[in-house]
Every structure is written in C-alpha cells, then in structure tokens.
Chains A and B, each alone.
Chain A
C-alpha cells in the first residue's frame, strides 16, 4: 500500500474575539485553534475513521484537507503533491480526485434541482461537456443502487437513505481516489445505516477508493475502518489499527468513549466510565495534558507537562500514563 494522503502538523485557526475584546478579557490569543497540529496518513484503498465529539475539530480538518478553509501551518500531501499554498485553479484539479460527502443528506442537495442535475453537476462545474448526461446519470445511479428513473425526482421526494445514495453518486461522478465522508450515517435509521456502509465498502472494493470517515459513532467505525484516529480539542490523542484501538485502547479518553457506547444488550449494563464535566472551551485550553481535568487516571504530572506522542507499531498515542496495551509477542 502506498501513501495517498499525508498530513503533517496541520493547524487551522479561527479568530474568536476582536483585538480589543481579547485585551479586555485578558485572553492571551484571540484565536482558537480548531485543528492544532494533526498528523495523519492514508494509504490507497484504505479506510480511516476520524472519531471525536462535537467541537473536536473533525469537520474542520476535513474541510481544510479539501481546501475549503485556509490553513495556518502544516502540510497536506496528496499523491506526493503539496496542496497547501497552491493556486485555486490547481485546487480545482485536486477536487476531481478528492470528493466530499457533506453532513445532512437532504440539506446538502439543492431542493430546486432534479437528481439527474445534481449527480451530473460535477461535470458541468469541471467543464466535461463531452459526457453524455443521460447515460452518465444512469451509470452513477446504478453504482449506488438506485433505479434510473430516480433522475426525475427532486430531493424532497427522497427518503434519508436515498438522499444519502444520491450524495454518494455525486461524490463518485469524477472518479475520485479519495472520498471524505462527513457523518455518512448521521440521522439514518439503523436498518438503513447498514445499507450505506455496505455501499461504501462495496464501492471501495470495486473502485479501489480510499475513504476518510468522520463520525462520532464508534459502533459504525468498528466495522468499516481499517484504522481509527480519536480527536480531542483539535488534536489526535490516539490512532492505530481499529481492532487494536477497540481491544486495547491506550489513551484514557479512548477508553471512556468506548465505554460510553451503549450496547443493545441488557446483560451488558456495564461499568460505564463517566467522565467529569464537558469538553473545555478552545479559548481556554487546559495546561499540561489537555484531557487531565476530565481524566479518571490523571496524576500531578499531567497538569503541568504536555505528553509527547508515543509510537507503537502502526499506532500512536499521547499520554503520560497509558493504559495496558496488548501483551507483546516474545521478543517485542
């Protein structure tokens, strides 16, 4: 597997306060760092899940990757080409190879366009006039398992799952290498959720796509992602192979998130790890390890010194006192 996407030290910040207000309130910096130094890599044909709670910066990260938000620092290399700082015409070419599926399946489709116009819109935007609209529309709808006569429909005539499929068809129109799927199953019923995930898996096998799935739903991740990255306050606190992360979380936040995932099994009414408080404001990041005010295992060191990242196999985590890992094979 060769690298498709490589992100290093990516930072995105937003101005939160005016200069005067910041001075009056005694806030050191009027900016919030929504993405605060993220390193990620995605190989060809691989699925990476980015998991975090609201405000952890997952969507901001995705939007920065596809050039919808200005980047403060860091590098994004896609197929060995640096994306940060390139011209907008160069971005246009990149967006043919990198497609985004936005949150909210119905809201991301224009209510005034038919499904046919929606799925072939990418051709118009990218000036691919030679394509035969009717045939292309039928091909794309076929790929996502919708009958060709759906081309006549308007978004309000679609169910949530069908609207999601149209979103996938749009993303596939330009034969991308990478799909950024922002909460692809949010708002869908469990019986439909599986359909969309199966569709993404099938398309991946068929077309060799790479997928970056952004979600807060850990149950979904377990089945579809090869690797999982957990975000907290704009940083990745742990990443690794999905099976390992689920079986042996090393970061206490990962462990708490996993335990917060209610199981539909009354026998498993479990020992939940209830985290204290809520995600802190990005304007006032805690000192030391940023998770320490909520961490059930925090010790004095955690409040003063920020932990460095520890690399372990293909995984990495940022914690002074990590939880027990898998027992290493002899010689490990």
Chain B
C-alpha cells in the first residue's frame, strides 16, 4: 500500500432525508475512490442516488438532509468537517462541476465573457489578463473566434457550444477534480461524441480527475477507466470498466448490461427488462436491497445485508454470491 492516496475517497457514507413519511435513506454505506488523473464513471438508473452523492461531495444538500455516518476525504481532509468558508475555497477552484443542462447553468442575461471573467474573482489578475485567460479557454474547448464571441449571450450559442463553454468555465481554475453530471444527456449523438472526445483531451492536458455521472452505459465504456454501479442508494459493484462490463459480479449489473439494446446482437421483439420497481427507501427491504427483483436471490439475502466482497483485482460487489470469489 505505497500507492499515492486517492484524490477523493468516500467511506461508508450514509445519508438520509427527513420527510413527512419518515427518514428516506438516500445513501447507504457508500464506498468510492477517485484516484488522481483517472476518469471514474458512476452509473445507475433514476432514483439510485447519483445526484445526492454529488450534492454531498460539494456539500450542496438541502436542509432536510442529514449525513448519518461515514467520511468524504478529499486529499485526506474530510469535507464533511470543513467550515463553510473552507468549503467555498474548494468549490470552483479545486472541485469544479459541469451540469446536465448548459442553458440553466449559464446566466442568460450576462455575456459569456462577463461570466468567464467573474468566475476568476479570486485570482489576483488584471481584468485584461482574466479576459485573455477566458479567450484562451474558449479556444481550447473549440469555440471559433473566441475573442469576438466573448460579447455574445448564452442563447446565441447552440446546445453543444453552450456545453463547451460550461466545460471551459469549469476548467478555468484548473481544478483537481471535475464532477460532470450527465453532461451529454441533453445533446444529440454526434455532439455527444464531440464532447466525450473533448473531455478525454482536456483530461490528458490538465491531468485532473473526472467523476462522470451518467445513466448511459455506452458512454462509461467509451470514456471511463473505472466504474461505480449504484442501485437504490447503494454502490452494488465497482471496479475497472473492462472487468465489470465483461464479468459483472452483481446480478443488478448483469441485468442492467443485458437491458442495453445496443448490446443485444440478435434483433429481438422481446427485449430484456428488470421486472419490479426500485424499493421505497423510507422502508427499504430487509437484507439485500436488490433481493425483491433479483432472480438469483436465496434465503440468506432476506436475512442479512451483504458486505462488499472483492472479486478480482480492484473489482468488488455487494452480493452474497460474490463472497469468497476473490480468493
């Protein structure tokens, strides 16, 4: 264990929301690592807790949220214990974020030049230097005529261009960690290709780590080195993309991959599905969360929540069936 410590390391994170119906256990015992300079994908379907996870890293949780256990370490420091002021110092500068919808992430009534200069408010640079830096970043993400386009407003750009601008703004401070929340979901297929290519190139140049959140398995396979699969508030499986996609150890991962119509080679009028629904997290089922929908469930699954078992180098799954497989 001499390897450099991970940039971001989440240990046993549990979080619940107070609701009129009771405590909604949105995250349960989440473990996750983002090594330096790596691209880690978080996949899961709606309601799996992806967005709550991001919000807890950035400490942008609503007031009814309560962290009930665990730690989020960024370069060894627990973010959950930082003062609001120290947290503000990190946000935008060390940890930056790209949102799903670039139209709502950018202010519609300010020119993009103004917004790109404003985000450098902490830098001791002259206005001219900040402007030059903005032009340089816009050029880097492939906006044609960046110097002229500084005066333009967000609505004067297409969706793909707006997402490029949002990426330029996020990377302006050369953050160590970039969190991207479904950044290609609102884009067309040919633009998605462009944005993925751009993120790959920027990651190589800047050397930052990327935590890429998506529901799209194909994008993870294309872009990420490691993947974290979430279901109903838990990390059910994680590991290197190749290993997880080729030999999924958790039945949910296997079913999810099987459902992707892009993976089904034979043309079929009867596509696989995962019957049942996500459990109500106010009263999650006893034992394993996936048990009610799991075709491989047996008696123990209802009695005991599975621990995280290693199944190969770097791959692990929260499933009783994976127990003992690593050895």
Given A262-B222, A274-B193, are A223 and B261 neighbors across the interface (CB < 8 Å)?
yes
Which residues on B sit within 8 Å (CB–CB) of A53?
188-191
Q: Flag whether A220 is at the interface (Cβ < 8 A).
A: yes
Residue of B nearest to A276 (CB): B194
Q: Name which of B122-130, B133-141, B210-218 contacts chain A.
A: B210-218
User: Which residue of chain A lies nearest to B272 when distances are taken between CB atoms in the complex?
Assistant: A194
Q: Which of A162-186 contact B (CB under 8 A)?
A: none
Are B271's CB and A262's CB within 8 A?
no
- B255, A261: Cβ atoms under 8 Å? no
CB-based contact A224/B192 at 8 Å: no
Is B242 in contact with chain A by the CB < 8 A criterion? yes
Q: Are A201 and B270 in contact (CB under 8 A)?
A: yes
Given A190-B45, A263-B218: A257 in contact with B262 (beta carbons within 8 A): no
**Docked-complex contact B218 and A261, CB < 8 angstroms:** yes
- Give Cα distance in the complex from A275 to B262, angstroms: 21
User: Which residues of A215-274 have CB atoms within 8 Å of chain B's CB atoms?
Assistant: 216, 218-220, 222-224, 242-243, 256-257, 259-269, 272, 274
> How far apart sit A192 and B46, CA to CA, in the bound complex (Å)?
11
Task: Please give the residue numbers on chain A whose beta carbons come within 8 Å of chain B beta carbons, in ascending order.
Answer: 53-54, 159-160, 189-195, 197-198, 201, 216, 218-220, 222-224, 242-243, 256-257, 259-269, 272, 274-275, 278-279
For the complex formed, measure the closest distance between the CB of B250 and the CB atoms of chain A, giving whole angstroms. 14
- Restricting to B144-177, which residues have a CB under 8 Å from any CB of A? 158-161
Chain B contacts with A in 166-210, Cβ cutoff 8 A: 188-194, 196-197
B96 interfacial by beta-carbon distance below 8 Å: no
Contact between B189 and A263, CB atoms less than 8 A apart: no
- Kindly provide the distance from the CB of A236 to the nearest chain B CB, expressed in whole angstroms: 17
Question: Bound state CA distance, A257 and B192, in angstroms?
Answer: 11
Cβ–Cβ contact A222 & B273, under 8 A: no
- Rounded to whole angstroms, the CA-CA distance of A243 and B262 in the bound complex is 14
Tell me if A265 and B259 are in contact (CB < 8 A): no
On whether A264 and B189 interact (CB within 8 A), knowing A219-B260, A223-B261, the answer reads no
Do A192 and B271 touch across chains, with their CB atoms under 8 A apart?
Answer: no
Q: Which of A195, A223, A243, A269 has the most CB of B within 10 A?
A: A223
Complex alpha-carbon distance, A261 and B241, angstroms? 18
Q: Is B277 engaged at the interface, CB distance under 8 Å to the other chain? A: yes
Given contacts A191-B273, A194-B273, contact A264 B191 (CB under 8 A): no
Assuming the A-B contacts A191-B256, A193-B261, A198-B270, are A262 and B245 also in contact, with contact meaning beta carbons closer than 8 angstroms in the complex? no
Interface bits B253-281 vs A (CB < 8 Å: 1, else 0): 00111011111100111111110010000
Size of B's binding interface in residues, CB under 8 A: 45
Contact partner of B161 (CB less than 8 A), chosen from A197, A261, A278, is A278
Q: Are B46 and A160 in contact (CB under 8 A)?
A: yes
Q: How far is A154 from B156 in the complex, measured between Cα atoms in Å?
A: 39
Give complex CA distance A195, B255 in Å.
14
Q: Give 18 pairs: A residue, B residue, CB < 8 Å, sorted on A.
A: A53-B188, A190-B217, A190-B256, A190-B259, A191-B256, A191-B259, A191-B273, A194-B271, A198-B271, A219-B261, A224-B269, A261-B262, A263-B262, A265-B263, A272-B197, A275-B194, A278-B160, A279-B188
Closest to A195 in B: B273
Q: Given A256-B190, A257-B190, are A263 and B271 also a contact pair (CB < 8 Å)?
A: no
Cβ A264 vs Cβ B245 within 8 A: yes
Contacts of B317 in A (CB 8 A): none
Nearest residue, chain A, Cβ from B269: A201
**Shortest Cβ-Cβ A-B pairs, 7 listed:** A262-B218, A194-B271, A264-B217, A191-B274, A189-B45, A53-B188, A260-B189
Known: A194-B259, A260-B189. 7 other contacts (CB 8 A): A190-B260, A191-B256, A193-B271, A197-B261, A260-B190, A275-B193, A278-B191
Q: Are B192 and A264 in contact (CB under 8 A)?
A: no
B110 at the interface (CB under 8 A from A): no
The SS class assigned to the A binding surface is helix
Residues in chain B near residue A264, CB distance under 8 A: 217-218, 220-221, 245, 257, 260, 262-263
Min C-beta distance of B243 to chain A, whole Å: 9
Taken together as a complex, chains A and B put the C-alpha atoms of A191 and B274 apart, in Å, by 5
Q: How far is the CB of B44 from chain A (nearest CB, A)?
A: 9
Cβ–Cβ contact B277 & A266, under 8 A: no
**Most chain B Cβ neighbours within 10 Å, of A242, A263, A265:** A265
| B169 smallest CB distance to A (angstroms) | 20
> A209 to chain B: closest CB distance in Å?
14
Contact of B222 among A190, A195, A198, A269 (CB under 8 A): A269
Report chain A residues within 8 Å CB of B301. none
Closest residue on chain B to residue A275 by CB atoms: B190
Q: Decide if A265 touches B269 in the complex (CB within 8 Å).
A: no
Residues of A within 8 A of B221 (CB): 262-266, 268-269
User: When chains A and B are docked, how far (Å) is the Cα of A260 from the Cα of B46?
Assistant: 24
Pick the contact of B259 from A193, A256, A272 — CB < 8 Å? A193
Closest residue on chain B to residue A273 by CB atoms: B193
Is B219's beta carbon under 8 Å from chain A?
Answer: yes
CA distance A53 to B260 in the complex (A): 21
| Chain A nearest CB, measured from B142 CB (Å) | 10
| Distance in Å: Cβ of B114 to nearest Cβ of chain A | 24
State which residues 220-234 of B face A: CB under 8 Å.
Answer: 220-222
A197 touching B271, Cβ below 8 Å: yes
Do A223 and B269 contact each other (CB < 8 Å), given the known contacts A191-B45, A194-B259?
Answer: yes
* Cα(A219)–Cα(B261), bound, Å: 6
The answer for the CA separation of A76 and B259 in the assembled complex, in Å, is: 37
CA distance in complex: A257, B270 (Å): 25
CA distance A194 to B275 in the complex (A): 10
**Closest residue to B188 on the A side, CB-wise?**
A53
A305–B246 Cα distance when bound, in Å, is: 48
A54-B160 Cα distance, complex, nearest whole Å:
11
CA distance A218 to B260 in the complex (A): 12
- A259: chain B residues at CB < 8 Å are 193
CA distance A200 to B274 in the complex (A): 17
- Check A198 against B216 for contact (C-beta < 8 Å): no
B188/A216 in contact, CB under 8 A: yes
**In this complex, what residue of B is CB-closest to A191?**
B274
